[in-house]
Structure 1
Amino acid sequence: MSLTKGSNTPVPSTALRVELGWRPGPGVPDADASALLLTGGKVSSDADFVFYNQPVHPSGTVRHEGKHDLGGRVTDTLLVDLARVGPAVERVVLAASADGGTFGQVPDLYIEVRDADRDTVVARFDSPGATVESAFVLGEFYRRQGAWKFRAVGQGYSSGLEGLATDFGITVDESQQHTAPPAAPSAPVTAAPPTTPGSAPVTAPPPAGPPVPLPPPVALPVTVPPPTAPPPPAPPAAPVRLTKVTLTKAAPSVSLAKQGGTSGAMRVNLNWQVRKQFSGWGGKRGRAVALHADLDLDLCALYELADGRKGVVQALGNAFGALHRPPYIHLDGDDRTGASADGENLTINLDHTQDFRRVLVFVTIYEGARSFADLHATVTLRPQHGAPIDFSLDECTVPSTVCALALITNTGGELVVRREARYLVPERGVSPQRTVDRAYGWGMNWTPGRK
């Protein structure tokens, strides 16, 4: 059902896929989908803001699934399970923000709500022409008489994602602003011992008559509690970071340290989608032949440590690595579809930055195809602290079975990430691993392996 601004329609209380879409092109900024769970018009906590830096709500009811390039259209998707949304939540606001421009530069912007189980369209709102807005509330789910409805909103913000987030009660990291000067130190104070009423010495006048014998004094124990300081206030929750870094051919490198990524775990994610299923290159002159196949990609990493040790982390041969001992890199699992929000993941322990000399993250085709042709993939490096780093792979035009994704090098004690996005074509009889090894001079010996 196509809606106009301000109109609404009932939606099923099931899992819904919310798709933000637009038409890409030269000079068109990237756009990002987000959701806010509201109670009384505001979030209950910063965790109620789901977006690229907080992709999953603690309850699991809202999830940011990420982007896909569908050829002539780019989508960013949220999954919302209304049946599991807490009873205190009155609205789920669905928003979009433009990265590096305004929505006046984004053509054919729309939001579409689909039943995730049946893959049918429940509602769609094509946003009217925008100008200087850099953030939009495109729609919202809201409760009405015990049922959920979707409303087309179309409210713009010229203050971007930050203005939209703060308007709904999100505490945004203001690290870009000037730090307030420290308070002037107070004069030193010397605490005097506590006194009680009547503790000052008193001189009694002499008795008027003969002295009256007094009973001997009795010592009574008196316990004076020590002065107690008020309990320290609870530390404030960390503010939400809105920044992210997108690597391009023109700006391919970034220092993790300069983005705040100096410790903790860094997750490296590969997510992909295949527009057409290809079994490989065939026919005359290498023409691509479209055949049905299940494409299985493997995310891998070559590593070289500071002490000279070298190796590979990959599913092949069950070389999954380790996070808290060398090589401080761990492969989380083996996703055979790439269609989920998880995709394939490596985790790198940034607490051991000084133990790394270089790490090359690459992907191979294990089965289902002999080329990356028509594959649409996004790589995201998400440090535990600091801004996420992402980039997309270019279209593959050669019969490649291995692609170098990112090279991470220790430069002056800092890890620098460089976008490679380099498709390699193995020679006949040469494995993809050996091919990427030769291209980057790792110098390892290889033997056949299985998973």
Structure 2
Amino acid sequence: MSMSKGANTPVTARQVRLELGWRSAPSAPAVAAAALLLGAGTEKVRSDADSVSRARPAHASGAVRHEGAGASPDGASETVAVDLDAVEADVEKVVLTATADGGSFGALSGLHLRLVDAASGAELARYDSEDATVETALVLGELYRRQGAWKFRAVGQGYSSGPDGLATDFGVSPAALRGPAPAAAAPAAPAAPPVAPSAPAPVTPPAQAPADAAPAPVTPVRLTKVTLTKEAPSVSLTKQGGTSGALHVNLSWQMRSQPKKEGQPKKEGWGAKLTRALTAPGGALDLDLCALFELTDGRKGVVQALGNAFGALDRPPYIHLDGDDRTGGTAGENLTVNLDHRQSLRRVLIFVTVYEGARSFADLDATVTLRPQHGAPIDFSLGESTEPSTVCALALITNTGSDLVVQREARFLVPERGVSPQRTVDRAYGWGMDWTPGRK
């Protein structure tokens, strides 16, 4: 099954292989694959021991193994095997990364990632990376837990700063993402045997290769995380070079702890009752990530779990909601915007509603993270809700024609009696849509 960026599929096989392949060529950069095991709710490794590569071929749990590099008549490959049943309970994702040494991924052809059933050898999914340019590190795909089951997502996120930027995002040392140093040094030995001293003079072209490659880092892509605040609420994706590929939006949350103060009478307002409800059996909080969209041709609509309006990436509205997390789990809710079709998008308002399990966002500590495929990750916190709000506008993405801007909203809204959260946010932002009751 061929997959596009941001697409996901269930994984029913228990033992799988992640096979990274590409067409080899004399001038192609050296490629090293590594798998990262990310802790629940952190999007980071717990330590360097959660990296698996040629330098560290097996995880301590036995769940992930690097099976080495291979070759075929039409290309090269590296394979990582994953036993999903053996993945530790506090590991939420297994991410497959690749780094290029001696050039960028734009110099490679046929770069792809296959998900294969280890038992039968059947191909379960395939992602072809076809738009890499100056990137020297990639996140190609990930296996992740969702509601007790495993899924696979094609990611295709690139970094122009090599292992350093990727390592910063995932909390691992850059060395853990590369292959072992001896393997990189070995090719230098055959180059030395040309005995004639005159040989080094013609060998000056290799010294010029880095100079030719030097312009690659001169790119608007910046990988330092951008945190939006009330004082600095917006950022230009255009200035960061983040106007193409997939824009992943994640909302994660946890309950804010309430410190006890001695010497004060015990009070139980609606916020305290909410906390009790969330810790009681069956009281899980169900937040729904949604998006209002307006296309440049005038069409408007909503992407949400309600009514199974999950959207699509390869056709209008070019926005897709990744299922519905009804558990309030650490993965939160995820939504993807296909910025390759940004010319069709006029504005996108990302918002969240309390579907069930609570009457407001009180005592909720929520973080919004936007990860452009190119450019810096963007995040911000919602802050504290001081009123019984059941809907919050998170971020507004606006296409001005010359710029693509992300605006932090973090705006808690209180619906009027008998008015739905969706209609409430529509009115607040002047979308002008007609609404009918729905369910999921």
Structure-1-length-normalised TM-score: 0.50
Provide Cα deviations, 1:81-134, integer angstroms capped at 9, x if missing partner.
Answer: 959845742999xxxxxxxxxxxxxxxxxxxxxx97599xxxxxxxxxxxxxxx
8 Å contact 2:318–2:341 — kept in the other structure? Answer: yes
8 Å contact 2:287–2:352 — kept in the other structure? Answer: yes
C-alpha displacement of 1:79:
4.0
8 Å contact 2:48–2:173 — kept in the other structure? Answer: no
Task: Quickly say closer, same or farther: Cα 1:446–1:47, change in 2 above 3 A.
Answer: farther
- 2:317 equivalent to 1:361: no
Of 400, 410, 417 in structure 2, the residue corresponding to residue 421 of structure 1 is: 410
Say which structure is richer in helix: 2
- 2:233 equivalent to 1:252: yes
Equivalent residue pairs, number: 260
8 Å contact 1:296–1:365 — kept in the other structure? Answer: yes
Aligned-residue sequence identity (percent) comes to 68
Q: CA RMSD in A?
A: 4.0
Residue type of the alignment partner of 2:244: S
Residue type of the alignment partner of 1:260: G
Task: Quickly say closer, same or farther: Cα 1:47–1:444, change in 2 above 3 A.
Answer: farther
Residue type of the alignment partner of 2:325: D
C-alpha separation in 2, matches of 1:382 and 1:424 = 26
SS at match of 2:422: helix
C-alpha separation in 2, matches of 1:257 and 1:367 = 38
Provide Cα deviations, 1:9-60, integer angstroms capped at 9, x if missing partner.
Answer: xxxxxxxxxxxxxxxxxxxxxxxxxxxxxxxxxxxx9978xxxxxxxxx42x
- Which residue of 2 is the match for residue 62 of structure 1? 37
Instruction: Flag the structure with larger Rg.
Output: 1
Task: Quickly say closer, same or farther: Cα 1:81–1:407, change in 2 above 3 A.
Answer: same
SS at match of 2:415: coil
Residue type of the alignment partner of 1:316: L
C-alpha separation in 2, matches of 1:236 and 1:376 = 44
Provide Cα deviations, 1:201-237, integer angstroms capped at 9, x if missing partner.
Answer: xxxxxxxxxxxxxxxxxxxxxxxxxxxxx9xx99989
C-alpha displacement of 1:62:
2.5
Q: Gaps (5+ residues) in structure 1?
A: 1-44, 49-57, 68-75, 93-114, 120-160, 172-229, 278-282
SS at match of 1:386: coil
C-alpha separation in 2, matches of 1:285 and 1:66 = 29
SS at match of 1:325: coil
C-alpha displacement of 1:367:
0.8
C-alpha separation in 2, matches of 1:330 and 1:382 = 15
C-alpha displacement of 1:373:
0.7
* Superposition map of 1:210-229 within 5 A: none
8 Å contact 1:353–1:413 — kept in the other structure? Answer: no
Provide Cα deviations, 1:339-364, integer angstroms capped at 9, x if missing partner.
Answer: 33x32111111111111111100000
C-alpha displacement of 1:169:
5.2
C-alpha separation in 1, matches of 2:395 and 2:381 = 11
SS at match of 1:78: coil
- Which residue of 2 is the match for residue 393 of structure 1? 382
C-alpha separation in 2, matches of 1:383 and 1:439 = 27
Of 42, 56, 73 in structure 2, the residue corresponding to residue 89 of structure 1 is: 56
C-alpha separation in 2, matches of 1:362 and 1:395 = 16
* Superposition map of 1:38-437 within 5 A: 58-59=34-35, 61-63=36-38, 78-79=45-46, 85=52, 88-89=55-56, 242-275=223-256, 288-289=272-273, 290-291=275-276, 292=280, 293-340=283-330, 342-437=331-426
Provide Cα deviations, 1:141-196, integer angstroms capped at 9, x if missing partner.
Answer: xxxxxxxxxxxxxxxxxxxx88x98995599xxxxxxxxxxxxxxxxxxxxxxxxx
Residue type of the alignment partner of 1:63: L
SS at match of 1:433: helix
8 Å contact 2:40–2:90 — kept in the other structure? Answer: no
Task: Quickly say closer, same or farther: Cα 1:417–1:118, change in 2 above 3 A.
Answer: closer
Q: Gaps (5+ residues) in structure 2?
A: 1-29, 60-86, 92-163, 178-205, 259-266
Task: Quickly say closer, same or farther: Cα 1:256–1:170, change in 2 above 3 A.
Answer: farther
Task: Quickly say closer, same or farther: Cα 1:285–1:324, change in 2 above 3 A.
Answer: same
C-alpha separation in 2, matches of 1:118 and 1:247 = 29
Provide Cα deviations, 1:65-93, integer angstroms capped at 9, x if missing partner.
Answer: 555xxxxxxxx86346959845742999x
